[in-house]
């Protein structure tokens, strides 16, 4: 089974490597461009400041790995990985200690890398899962707190890379932090399927009424920012040893069940990684295939349009040259060199005069084509849409629609010859990845 799993991962990785260059030509960004064969699943802990992320990680690992405290404690991201010898690496060197999948973090610059830390710990759980602790989200008086690096970008990148994202909320401030709302609505869109909300510190509820009020507030806040039909699963949990019900507090038995569910998910991380690599690879390849199809279509039409415009310019210039030559022939007599030179000059002038007009026409045509991307998509995928696979296709299209229109409108296109042939190659590689995944299930 594990061997088959590795086969599937290495096949996906080969496909990513093979079509990486092609994706660049179409300005398409793979979400998970590197798949480390046999890699360890990853879990990201996000949440408000003091929501208990580090305490939860400590509890999972059965020891003090992260600092905890009431004041904002973590100001950077900490990746906790398995290793026989315990050590801690900070800054750019930390990236070198992580699998290749994390290389994309380089793009977030030196300020971010200064706040990246890798802790190597000899804990059993880390053999099967890598945990990532994040800085708590805080609001400053002027809005969200100013960070010297692209915090949202890093969260999005890590959320795409990780196999599970836990968002911890504190009963004291259930989802009111502006930065966390932004993270929910912007960074986590498209990866909601990995998201689990943990309403933490439930041992601190003073009564059932207190719990109900907090739970209601959390649902209310989430419903306003998440663009999914259903609410994500919310687990009411607490970290630390099983506790007795506080005086007048809520019976913790049901919460312990939630905790067990949460623990089961953490321990079953390998299965999640397999599903995530698979669904991300398929969505990456499908997205690229649609992007290629629509851009190829636009580029063919643009090419025909260019030929028509250039032919028009050439005819105008040649006509100007011929008329000038004719007019001067009657004055200087046949065989006149002056008439010939004047004719050529007139043709060149005609070309120079029509050139800006040709460029303007091509520019306007690109604007027009970018406005018709939906119609192009519908026309190109007419047969697939008719046989009922439309939900998946529509979803994939909506994820890349805006960017595709922008590519057609503005980007310099250096598309490969035989673009459609390359697209078929991509589709068949994706089908192989699919088949290999099914064999491993
Ligand atoms: N009652 C209770 N308190 C908790 C629980 N988890 C964490 N705490 C307390 O909450 C405070 C903050 O915990 P941390 O783990 O440092 O929170 P954090 O989210 O890592 O905070 P930052 O790193 O600052 O973002 C600490 O005083 C913990 O003792 C819990 O399950 N129940
Ligand atoms: Mg912390």
Q: Which two tokens stand for residue 185?
A: 């609505």
Residue ranges of alpha helices (H) inside 226-336 are 253-267, 269-332
For residue 437, the SS3 value is helix
> What pLDDT score does 146 carry?
66
Task: Name the strand (E) or helix (H) holding 81.
Answer: strand 77-82
Specify the pTM: 0.74
Q: How many CB atoms lie within 10 A of CB 241?
A: 6
Domain ranges of the chain: 40-267, 285-440
Residue 20 CB–ligand 1 contact under 6 Å: no
How far is the C-alpha of 238 from the C-alpha of 252, rounded, in Å? 10
CA angle 312, 318, 320 (to 5 degrees): 105
Query: Ligand 1, residues 44, 46, 48, 50: which to mutate, most atoms within 8 A of Cβ?
Result: 50
Beta pairing partners, 80? 119, 131
pLDDT, position 405:
93
Tokens of 312: 């028009």
Pick the residue whose CA is nearest to atom 32 on ligand 1.
Answer: 201
Cβ(70) to ligand 1 under 6 A? yes
Whether ligand 1 lies within 6 angstroms of the CB of 68 is answered as: yes
Across 396-409, b (16+ Cβ under 10 Å) vs e yields: bbebbbebbbebbb
Residues of the chain with pLDDT under 70: 1-6, 37-38, 71-74, 138-146, 174-179, 182, 227-229, 241-249, 387-391, 440-441
Separation between Cα atoms, residue 189 and residue 218, nearest integer Å? 18
CA of 278 to the centre of ligand 2 (A): 31
Residue 33's pLDDT is what? 72
Radius of gyration for the chain, computed over Cα atoms and rounded to the nearest angstrom: 30
pLDDT of residue 248: 61
Query: What pLDDT is attached to residue 28?
Result: 92
Q: Is the CB of 171 under 6 A from ligand 1?
A: no
50 touches ligand 1 (CB under 6 Å)? yes
Are the CB atoms for 295 and 26 separated by under 8 Å? yes
Residue 212: both structure tokens together? 């109900």
Give the Å distances, CA to CA, from 6 to 118, 281, 284, 437. Answer: 25, 15, 19, 10
Which residue minimizes the CA distance to atom 7 of ligand 1? 52
Which atom of ligand 1 is the closest one to the Cα of 58? 15
242 CB near ligand 1 (under 6 Å): no
Q: Could you tell me which CATH class the domain 40-267 is placed in? A: alpha beta
Question: Using CB atoms within 10 A of its CB, is residue 134 exposed (0-12), middle (13-18) or buried (19+)?
Answer: buried
161 C-alpha to center of ligand 1: Å? 25
Whether the CB of 54 sits within 6 Å of ligand 1 = yes
């Amino acid at each position: 089974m594990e061997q088959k799993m590795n086969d599937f991962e290495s096949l996906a990785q080969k496909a990513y490597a093979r079509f990486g260059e092609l994706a660049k030509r179409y300005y398409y960004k793979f979400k998970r461009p590197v798949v480390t064969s046999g890699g360890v699943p990853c879990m990201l802990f996000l949440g408000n400041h003091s929501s208990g992320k580090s305490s939860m990680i400590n509890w999972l690992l059965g020891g003090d790995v992260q600092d905890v405290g009431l004041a904002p404690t973590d100001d950077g991201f900490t990746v906790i990985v398995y290793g026989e010898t315990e050590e801690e690496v900070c800054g750019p060197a930390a990236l070198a200690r992580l699998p290749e999948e994390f290389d994309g973090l380089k793009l977030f610059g030196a300020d971010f890398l200064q706040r990246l830390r890798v802790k190597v710990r000899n804990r059993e759980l880390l053999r099967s899962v890598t945990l990532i602790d994040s800085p708590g989200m805080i609001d400053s008086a002027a809005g969200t707190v100013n960070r010297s690096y692209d915090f949202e970008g890093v969260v999005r990148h890590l959320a795409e890379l990780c196999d599970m994202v836990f968002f911890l909320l504190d009963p004291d401030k259930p989802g009111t932090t502006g930065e966390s709302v932004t993270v929910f609505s912007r960074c986590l869109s498209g990866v909601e399927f990995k998201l689990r909300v943990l309403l933490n510190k439930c041992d601190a509820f003073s009564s059932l009424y207190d719990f109900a009020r907090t739970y209601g507030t959390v649902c209310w806040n989430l419903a306003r920012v998440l663009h999914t039909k259903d609410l994500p699963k919310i687990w009411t949990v607490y970290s630390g040893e099983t506790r007795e019900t506080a005086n007048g507090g809520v019976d913790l038995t049901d919460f312990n069940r939630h905790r067990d569910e949460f623990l089961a998910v953490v321990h079953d991380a390998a299965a999640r990684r397999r599903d995530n690599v698979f669904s991300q690879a398929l969505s990456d390849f499908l997205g690229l295939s649609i992007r290629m199809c629509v851009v190829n279509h636009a580029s063919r039409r643009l090419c025909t349009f260019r030929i028509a415009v250039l032919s028009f310019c050439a005819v105008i210039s040649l006509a100007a040259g011929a008329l000038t030559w004719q007019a001067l022939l009657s004055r200087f007599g046949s065989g006149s060199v002056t008439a010939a030179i004047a004719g050529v000059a007139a043709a060149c002038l005609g070309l120079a005069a029509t050139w800006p007009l040709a460029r303007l026409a091509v520019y306007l045509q690109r604007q027009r084509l970018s406005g018709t991307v939906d119609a192009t998509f519908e026309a190109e995928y007419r047969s697939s849409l008719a046989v009922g696979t439309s939900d998946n296709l529509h979803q994939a299209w909506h994820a890349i629609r805006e960017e595709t229109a922008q590519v057609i409108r503005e980007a310099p296109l250096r598309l490969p010859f035989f673009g459609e042939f390359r697209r078929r190659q991509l589709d068949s590689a994706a089908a192989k990845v699919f088949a290999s995944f099914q064999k491993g299930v």
